[in-house]
Amino acid sequence: MSVRLEGDLIFLEGRCTAEESEMLLIALRDRPGLAIDASGLTRAHLAVVQVLLALKPEIRLPPADRILAEIIMDQ
């Protein structure tokens, strides 16, 4: 599973697929204070990125990939 909730942090890990965007959306809507640890994220579907950009959760740790990190941290 690549979207994992632990305490106040959502861990995005490995490849996050389009399906997982819905889960992420629900988690962030229900608990707006949740922050993201994307340090383990290698690939993210645009659907997942859109949710992050629209809801602007705090990104504690960015992904290692520079381009992906810039996109997610941009807003």
Partner 1 sequence: MDELLEQFLLEGRDLVAQASADFVALGQRADDAVAIDSAFRAIHTLKGSVAIFALHPAERILHAAEDLLERAKKSGAAIEPDALAALVACIDRIDHWIDDIERDGSLPEDAASVSDRLVAAFLTHSRDTMPSSPASAAPASPDESAWTMALLERQEAAHDGARALAAFRYTPDPDCFFRGEDPLAIAMAVPEILVLSVRPAGGAWPAHDAIEPFACTSILEGLSAADVETVRGALRLVHDQATVTAVDTRRDSGAALPERDGKSADMLRVSAARVDALADGLGELIVAVNAMAGLAETANGVDRVLAANVRAVQAGLEKVTGRLHRDVSAVRAVSLESALRRLPRLVREIAESLGKQVRLTIEGEELEVDKQIADAMFEPLLHLLRNAIDHGAEPPEQRLASGKVVECLISLRFKRAGDSVMAILSDDGRGIDPARIREVAVERGLRNRDEAEALSDAAALRLIFVPGFSTAETVTSVSGRGVGMDAVQAVIERLRGTIDVESALGAGTTFRMRLPVSALTTRLLVVEAGSGRYGIALDQILETVRIENDALKAVGSGQACVLRGRTVPVVSLGALLGDDAPDHPVARMLVTQAAGDRVAVRVDRFSERLDAFVRPSAGLLASVPGVTGSTLMGDGSVLLVLDLPELLA
Residues whose CB falls within 8 Å of the CB of residue 17, separated by 6 or more in sequence, listed in order: 2, 45, 48
Say if strands 58-61 and 35-44 run parallel, antiparallel, or are unpaired. Answer: parallel
Q: Give, rounded to a whole angstrom, the gap between the first and last alpha carbons of the chain.
A: 26
Q: By CB under 8 A, tell whether 69 contacts partner 1.
A: no
Q: By CB under 8 A, tell whether 50 contacts partner 1.
A: yes
CB of 52 to partner 1, least distance (A): 9
Distance (Å, rounded) from C-alpha 68 to C-alpha 70? 5
By CB under 8 A, which span of 6-14, 17-25, 33-41 interacts with partner 1? 17-25
Q: Which one among 3, 12, 21, 41 touches partner 1, defined by CB under 8 A?
A: 21
- State the residues that interact with partner 1 by CB under 8 A: 18, 21-22, 25, 29, 43-47, 49-51, 53-55, 67-68, 70-71, 74
